[in-house]
Amino acid sequence: MKEHEIRQNKATREWVIYAPTRGRRPSDFRQTDKGREERPERDEHCPFCPGNKNMLPGIIMAMPSTGEEAWQTRVVPNKFPALATDGDTERVERGIYLTMPGYGRHEVIVESKWHNRGIAQMSNAEVEIIIETYHKRYVDLMKEHENMLTLLFRNHGVRAGTSLVHPHSQLIVTGFVPNHVRWREEQAQRYYDEWGRCVFCEILQFEQREQRRVVFENPSFLAFVPFAAEVPFEIWMMPKEHDADFGDINDVEKRDLAQAFSNVLTKLFEKLNDPDYNYIINTAARYKADEPQLHWYVQIRPRLTTRAGFEIGSGISINPSIPEHDAEFLTEDS
Ligand SMILES: [Zn+2]
Ligand SMILES: [Zn+2]
């Protein structure tokens, strides 16, 4: 491609500006400022470590078993929740404005007993238990009709918004559908109405055929750097079987998703020296779970750049790295 190019994200129709800095290669994104200090297996002050149950506000569930020492994962209420469970979604007018009580859920998924072992260091079987935990909690929460969206996500590292080092992810349930999610749904709907096909299936099949941005593949999932990645090393992990709802994931897909997570996060860890990142499971909001135009997927966004004025003002991203180069760098033998 030319030095400067603007690409369109087919799913949202948003543009992304590519402005590779002259001479900068993917390897230059490797983190050097991270003193990878040795962390202990246990930390007596860490609420997520075994033996510190009294520091937790409660335990919602555990897997594979709730026995005192038999757990690998625990779901616990967030100690400082963004939303409160004791409210409703009744809209209230205040002058020309609208408000509603802060109803929702905010929970933490403790992923391991080990204070110092993240997904990149776990076995596939351990990662599978994390996926099982996500799924079980997701299905339970979506049984409650006031819950409009359950967003599972992981913040890894200070730049991704967490200071707690013990491996964990989170979920937030909202009692309304965020505009950002609606926007994505509406774009997919428009595409479907026009072409009669799911835009995500189209993307998946093209990426599978072209192989230029693929990072990992197994029978159920394709992991690739999207054609219009907004940030360096953004990765989407998409189920090959069309489905709008993460809640529909089956046992084979859980195993394959665990393998994909392991593989992709290990690649990021090794090639970029444990970069900070967020990942999000993008899934359909309530009442949209059976729609033919939506397709759930995991979005991984490393935090290697900072959004600046133009990006805030325009809503579009300037990505200094080329998706094909990112994929090549992640998959080449080192
Ligand atoms: Zn800990
Ligand atoms: Zn699809």
* Least confident interval from 33-37, 51-55, 67-71, 272-276: 33-37
Phi, psi angle pair for 66, to nearest 5°:
-85, -5
> Minimum-distance ligand to the CA of 40?
1
Residue-wise pLDDT for 151-169, tens only, equals 999 999 988 988 789 999 9
Helices of type H across the chain: 124-142, 179-195, 199-210, 251-272, 309-314, 323-331
pLDDT at 24: 77
Residue 35: pLDDT over 60: no
> Minimum-distance ligand to the CA of 199?
2
> Minimum-distance ligand to the CA of 46?
1
Residue-wise pLDDT for 82-141, tens only, equals 999 998 999 999 999 999 999 999 999 999 999 999 999 999 999 999 999 999 999 999
Residue 268: pLDDT over 90: yes
pLDDT at 112: 95
Cα 241 to middle of ligand 2, angstroms: 7
Cα 123 to middle of ligand 1, angstroms: 19
> Minimum-distance ligand to the CA of 191?
2
Residue 3: pLDDT over 90: no
Cα 305 to middle of ligand 2, angstroms: 30
Cα 82 to middle of ligand 1, angstroms: 22
Cα 257 to middle of ligand 2, angstroms: 17
Confidence of residue 23 (pLDDT cuts 50, 70, 90): low
- Helices and strands: H and E segment counts in the chain: 6, 15
On the 0-12 / 13-18 / 19+ scale of CB atoms within 10 A, 291 is middle
> Minimum-distance ligand to the CA of 43?
1
Cα 76 to middle of ligand 1, angstroms: 14
Cα 48 to middle of ligand 1, angstroms: 5
Residue 79: pLDDT over 70: yes
Residue 1: pLDDT over 70: no
Give the mean model confidence (pLDDT) for residues 79-84.
93
pLDDT at 299: 98
> Minimum-distance ligand to the CA of 284?
2
> How does the average pLDDT of the chain come out, rounded?
94
> Minimum-distance ligand to the CA of 192?
2
Cα 74 to middle of ligand 2, angstroms: 32
Residue 22: pLDDT over 80: no
User: What is the enclosing helix (H) or strand (E) of 221?
Assistant: strand 221-224
Cα 192 to middle of ligand 2, angstroms: 10
Q: What percent of the chain shows pLDDT beyond 90?
A: 83
Beta bridge partners of 282: 297
Distance of CA 248 to the CA centre of its chain: 17
Cα 100 to middle of ligand 2, angstroms: 34
Domains of the chain: 5-331 (3.30.428.10)
Cα 104 to middle of ligand 2, angstroms: 29
> Minimum-distance ligand to the CA of 50?
1
Cα 50 to middle of ligand 1, angstroms: 8
Cα 218 to middle of ligand 2, angstroms: 17
Cα 96 to middle of ligand 2, angstroms: 40
Residue 67: pLDDT over 80: no
Residue 66: pLDDT over 70: no
Cα 204 to middle of ligand 2, angstroms: 8
* Least confident interval from 116-120, 126-130, 247-251, 293-297: 116-120
pLDDT at 21: 78
pTM of the shown model: 0.95
Cα 108 to middle of ligand 2, angstroms: 29
- Give the whole-angstrom CA distance, residue 273 versus residue 219: 28
* Least confident interval from 33-47, 234-248, 306-320: 33-47
Q: What angle do CA 25, 38, 168 make, to 5 degrees?
A: 80
pLDDT at 296: 98
